[in-house]
């Protein structure tokens, strides 16, 4: 697989017994792009991301990763190139220690012990958790658990990194560290976020979702300056005046 692009062709999806929440999504992301997926709560961002590694499969249409159509039969192959960090990333830590969580993927790929160990060390180091190998997940802070979840995906050395709200609940320092990790990732990054500052800094391109459709695909800076009502709701352009501070008495 030399071209790790992501392609959606007329993808529709409904949760069981529910209305359609992806209503004909078409998109193409080429290898090495950093793309933000923006949109209001409930617009379908997480649902879209879960299609990329086949956790959800389209009701109609097709998702392809590289040259591989995402189907039940190709899940194993697809997941070797796509690393997905969930919106609720705590769900990804289920082993007794962080080290074992981060080793889980590489071990599952059948890599030799020395290589697994090398990858665990490198992944933990890159998210600022060097030395945390033996700590159980519950003993980490929320931000540290997010970092550990990201490490558990980086240790697979994915060609495509998909992250759902990665900066939620992070303090400024942890958020900065996350941005630096992602900026240094030379392969494809697709991230769903409400953190428009992060999107502007990391992603030259943004997709905007509204009610299950991609309604804009444009340079992020262009959207930030747009007066379009959907973009304005995302970038909160109404609040451009400084927040007033009561005078001291
Ligand atoms: N497991 C589920 N079962 C049924 N409906 C769901 C499920 N998950 C999401 N939905 C519905 O699908 C729609 C899209 O939800 P989704 O989680 O993809 O939105 P989102 O853009 O990620 O929102 P947020 O910004 O709040 O994370 C919503 O209407 C939601 O209620
Ligand atoms: Mg979501």
Residue whose CA is at the smallest distance from ligand 1 atom 13: 42
Counting the structural domains of the chain, the total is 1
Query: Which pTM value belongs to this model?
Result: 0.91
- Taking the CA of 209 as reference, the closest ligand is 1
Strand bridging mode 205-210 / 213-219: antiparallel
CATH code of residue 180: 3.40.50.300
- Taking the CA of 86 as reference, the closest ligand is 2
Q: Can you tell me which atom of ligand 1 is nearest the CA of 194?
A: 25
Distance 214 CA to ligand 2 centre (A): 15
At residue 91, the pLDDT reads 86
- Taking the CA of 18 as reference, the closest ligand is 1
pLDDT band of 35, cuts 50, 70, 90? very high
Say yes or no to pLDDT of 241 above 60: no
Residue 242 lies in a domain: no
Residue 15 lies in a domain: yes
Residue 241 lies in a domain: no
Residue 238 lies in a domain: no
Answer yes or no: are the C-beta atoms of 45 and 215 closer than 8 Å: no
Residue whose CA is at the smallest distance from ligand 1 atom 28: 42
Q: What is the helix (H) or strand (E) element at residue 52, kind and residue range?
A: helix 45-52
Q: What is the pLDDT of residues 107-136, one digit of tens each?
A: 998 999 999 999 999 999 988 899 999 999
Distance 54 CA to ligand 1 centre (A): 16
Pairwise CA distance, residues 128 & 63, whole Å: 34
Residue 99 lies in a domain: yes
Phi first, then psi: give them for residue 248, nearest 5 degrees: -70, 145
Residue 244 lies in a domain: no
Domain span at residue 192 reads 6-233
Q: Can you tell me which atom of ligand 1 is nearest the CA of 47?
A: 18
Out of 11, 19, 40, 45, mutate this one to test ligand 1's pocket (max ligand atoms within 8 Å of CB): namely: 45
Say yes or no to pLDDT of 20 above 90: yes
Q: What is the pLDDT of residues 143-190, one digit of tens each?
A: 899 999 999 999 999 999 999 999 988 889 889 988 998 998 889 999
Distance 31 CA to ligand 2 centre (A): 24
Distance 37 CA to ligand 1 centre (A): 14
Residue 245 lies in a domain: no
Out of 40, 44, 166, mutate this one to test ligand 1's pocket (max ligand atoms within 8 Å of CB): namely: 44
Pairwise CA distance, residues 218 & 35, whole Å: 10
Pairwise CA distance, residues 51 & 58, whole Å: 7
Residue 115 lies in a domain: yes
Burial of 193 (0-12, 13-18, 19+ CB in 10 A): buried
Residue 167 or 233, more confident: 167
Residue whose CA is at the smallest distance from ligand 1 atom 16: 44
């Amino acid at each position: 697989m030399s071209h790790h692009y992501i392609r959606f062709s007329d993808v529709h999806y409904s949760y069981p017994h529910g209305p359609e929440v992806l209503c004909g999504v078409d998109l193409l992301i080429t290898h090495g792009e950093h793309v933000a997926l923006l949109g209001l709560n409930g617009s379908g961002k997480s649902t879209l991301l879960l299609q990329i590694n086949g956790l959800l499969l389209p009701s109609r249409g097709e998702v392809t990763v590289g040259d591989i159509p995402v189907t039940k039969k190709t899940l194993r192959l697809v997941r070797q190139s796509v690393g997905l960090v969930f919106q609720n990333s705590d769900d990804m830590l289920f082993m007794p220690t962080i080290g074992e969580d981060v080793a889980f993927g590489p071990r599952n790929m059948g890599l030799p012990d020395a290589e697994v160990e090398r990858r665990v060390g490198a992944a933990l180091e890159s998210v600022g958790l060097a030395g945390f190998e033996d700590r159980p997940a519950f003993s980490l802070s929320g931000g540290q658990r997010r970092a550990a979840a990201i490490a558990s995906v980086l240790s697979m050395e994915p060609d495509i990194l998909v992250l759902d709200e990665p900066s939620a609940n992070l303090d400024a320092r942890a958020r900065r560290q996350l941005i630096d990790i992602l900026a240094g990732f030379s392969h494809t990054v697709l991230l769903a976020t409400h953190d428009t500052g992060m999107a502007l800094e990391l992603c030259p391109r943004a997709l905007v979702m509204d009610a299950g459709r991609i309604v804009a695909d444009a340079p992020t800076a262009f959207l930030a300056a747009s007066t379009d009502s959907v973009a304005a709701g995302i970038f909160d352009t109404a609040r451009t005046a400084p927040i007033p501070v009561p005078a001291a008495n």
